[in-house]
């Protein structure tokens, strides 16, 4: 990319960021309490919609002004619906409440927002360290985790792109537009990131093969056909922070020289499909997707393809057949998809978690990523722990933590 293009990218992104920060500051500085409600599929299943309605109704009835902020899922499914109330006038730090039923919501509005009593018997903890009440970081379920991919899940509104940009979102993508594709691929290679879909193939190597593959048109597929019983990591990421995945997709496409990506999402995840659709639209409106992104000569389009309930389509070659409109039957490899994939073009297929790991790696550097996890497999892994444990939900921990520690120490 020629240097004069850079002059256009930076001011364009700066303007977007300024707007995002302005909105964020306006939200933070608003002199009213803020109520954050977790509204991913798991929250909704536990009654988050009823809880939100209860908050709205009670606030209106009691004539209290407060902002309700819908967020994704923080991964603590045992505590759903989760509500964080930030009421600065009371003198208390932001407090996280677990299992907030409509009745509890009414009580909290009356007693906490109106009278300033946070009802300590109902809290899980404060979200930040403080001198008044225990914080959530005192629990092993929180402090043993190391969140890279899910860092922003549950803190930002997945349906508002500015919320993500205010947290430094898309800045890594803009930064990587300044780099050459070779630099990006080398950085990913050095980081030692391995495919998070289960196979563990080195991502950098896959991208390098795709970069060198011959073919005018190259494609990127995001594999979100998560079908293993009890696993819902991909769904949560897509529902709570879709932009991080889109950012990873864009970086990958830029690195391998693709201009089109397909997100293969199961039709069984209607909320994820809806949220990702919104996210793509918003990114397009801001010029972060589409033609000549931010005034550069990089074009990139993202589409959604809804998988229709065949477990085998999570396999790369079966997924390709399925997108082409055939029965999803796996075929022999080689040729690998990076050589001969979708519509016989070189195709990179990466899992949701792999793509979501890319922005943090490029932001903080390969050495930082290598310092987490084990030598051969750096980084973190996300587990969905369900069944006979106390704290069911999603846990993101560095590679190399033992199963015993995961089950007994973290999930209790």
Partner 1 sequence: MNQELTTEEKAALKSIAKNLETFNKQRGNLIPILQMVQEHLAYLPSEALRMVAEYLEINACEVYGVATFYNQFRFHPPGKHPVKVCLGTACHVRAGDIILENFERKLGIEDGETTADREFSIERVACVGCCALAPVAIIGETVHGHMAPSKVEGLLMRIEIEKDIAKREKEKSESEQT
Least CB distance to partner 1 at residue 340 (A): 17
By CB under 8 A, the count of residues binding partner 1 is 14
Distance CA 323, CA 136 (A): 44
82 phi and psi angles, rounded to 5 deg: -95, 135
- The residue (of 102 and 328) whose beta carbon lies closer to partner 1 is 328
By CB under 8 A, which span of 127-135, 247-255, 300-308, 354-362 interacts with partner 1? 300-308
Among 64, 310, 386, 399, which residue interacts with partner 1 (rule: CB under 8 A)? Answer: 310
Distance CA 141, CA 392 (A): 10
Among 21, 143, 308, 374, which residue interacts with partner 1 (rule: CB under 8 A)? Answer: 308
Least CB distance to partner 1 at residue 144 (A): 31
Are 48 and 13 spatial neighbours (Cβ–Cβ below 8 Å)?
Answer: no
Among 325, 332, 403, 404, which residue interacts with partner 1 (rule: CB under 8 A)? Answer: 325
Distance CA 258, CA 265 (A): 20
**β-bridge partners, 306:** 265
**323 contacts partner 1 (rule: CB under 8 A):** yes
Least CB distance to partner 1 at residue 267 (A): 6
Are 35 and 66 spatial neighbours (Cβ–Cβ below 8 Å)?
Answer: yes
Among 306, 345, 364, 405, which residue interacts with partner 1 (rule: CB under 8 A)? Answer: 306
By CB under 8 A, which span of 22-30, 44-52, 317-325, 389-397 interacts with partner 1? 317-325
Among 242, 328, 337, 359, which residue interacts with partner 1 (rule: CB under 8 A)? Answer: 328
- The residue (of 310 and 389) whose beta carbon lies closer to partner 1 is 310
Among 116, 326, 335, 344, which residue interacts with partner 1 (rule: CB under 8 A)? Answer: 326
By CB under 8 A, which span of 63-71, 189-197, 241-249, 301-309 interacts with partner 1? 301-309
**305 contacts partner 1 (rule: CB under 8 A):** yes
- The residue (of 125 and 346) whose beta carbon lies closer to partner 1 is 346
Output the CA–CA distances (angstroms, integers) from residue 141 to 29, 328, 388, in the order listed: 31, 39, 15
By CB under 8 A, which span of 26-34, 69-77, 88-96, 308-316 interacts with partner 1? 308-316
Encoded one letter per residue, x for contact with partner 1 by CB under 8 A and - for no contact, window 257-296 reads ----------x-----------------------------
Helices of type H across 124-202: 140-143, 161-166, 171-178, 181-191
Contacts 24+ apart (CB under 8 A), 39-42: 39/70, 39/71, 39/72, 40/72, 40/73, 40/158, 40/235, 40/236, 40/239, 40/240, 40/271, 41/73, 41/235, 41/239, 41/269, 41/271, 41/272, 42/73, 42/77, 42/80, 42/232, 42/236
Are 58 and 109 spatial neighbours (Cβ–Cβ below 8 Å)?
Answer: yes
Are 128 and 135 spatial neighbours (Cβ–Cβ below 8 Å)?
Answer: yes
- The residue (of 86 and 315) whose beta carbon lies closer to partner 1 is 315
**Where is 71: in which H helix or E strand?**
strand 67-71
Among 14, 327, 331, 344, which residue interacts with partner 1 (rule: CB under 8 A)? Answer: 327
302 phi and psi angles, rounded to 5 deg: -120, 135
Least CB distance to partner 1 at residue 238 (A): 18
**129 contacts partner 1 (rule: CB under 8 A):** no
DSSP 257: T
Task: Please list, in sequence order, all residues whose beta carbon lies within 8 angstroms of the beta carbon of residue 335, skipping any fewer than 6 positions away.
Answer: none
User: Which residues here bind partner 1, judged by CB under 8 A?
Assistant: 267, 305-306, 308-310, 322-328, 343
């Amino acid at each position: 990319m020629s240097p004069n293009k850079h002059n256009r990218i930076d001011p364009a992104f700066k303007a977007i960021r300024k707007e995002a920060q302005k909105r964020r500051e306006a939200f933070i500085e608003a002199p009213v309490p803020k109520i954050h409600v977790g509204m991913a599929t798991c929250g909704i299943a536990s009654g988050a919609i009823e809880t939100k309605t209860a908050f709205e109704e009670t606030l209106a009835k009691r004539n209290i002004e407060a902002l309700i902020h819908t967020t994704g899922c923080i991964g603590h499914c045992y505590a759903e619906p989760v509500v964080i109330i930030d009421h600065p006038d009371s003198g208390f730090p932001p407090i996280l409440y677990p299992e907030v039923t409509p009745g509890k919501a009414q009580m909290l509005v009356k007693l906490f927002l109106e009278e300033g009593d946070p009802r300590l018997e109902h809290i899980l903890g404060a979200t930040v360290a403080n001198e008044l009440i225990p914080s959530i970081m005192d629990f092993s379920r929180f402090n043993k985790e190391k969140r890279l991919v899910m860092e922003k899940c549950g803190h930002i509104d997945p349906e508002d792109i500015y919320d993500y940009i205010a947290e430094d979102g898309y800045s890594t993508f803009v930064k990587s537009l300044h780099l050459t594709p070779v630099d990006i691929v080398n950085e990913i290679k050095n980081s030692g990131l391995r495919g998070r879909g289960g196979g563990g193939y080195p991502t950098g190597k896959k991208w390098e093969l795709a970069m060198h593959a011959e073919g005018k048109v190259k494609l990127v597929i995001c594999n979100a056909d998560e079908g293993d019983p009890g696993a819902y990591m991909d769904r949560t990421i897509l529902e709570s922070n879709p932009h991080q995945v889109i950012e990873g997709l864009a970086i990958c496409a830029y690195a391998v020289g693709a201009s089109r990506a397909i997100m293969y999402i199961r039709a069984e995840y209607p909320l994820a499909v809806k949220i990702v659709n919104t996210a793509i639209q918003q990114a397009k409106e801001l010029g972060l997707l589409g033609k000549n992104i931010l005034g550069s000569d990089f074009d990139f389009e993202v589409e959604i393809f809804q998988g229709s309930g065949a477990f085998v389509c999570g396999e790369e070659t079966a997924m390709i057949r399925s997108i082409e409109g055939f029965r999803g039957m796996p075929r022999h490899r080689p040729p690998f998809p990076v050589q001969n994939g979708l519509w016989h073009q070189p195709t990179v297929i990466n899992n949701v978690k792999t793509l979501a790991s890319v922005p943090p790696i490029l932001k903080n550097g390969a050495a930082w990523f290598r310092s987490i996890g084990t030598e051969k497999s750096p980084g973190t892994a996300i587990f969905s722990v369900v069944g006979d444990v106390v704290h069911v939900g999603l846990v993101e921990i560095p590679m190399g933590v033992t199963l015993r520690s995961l089950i007994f120490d973290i999930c209790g």
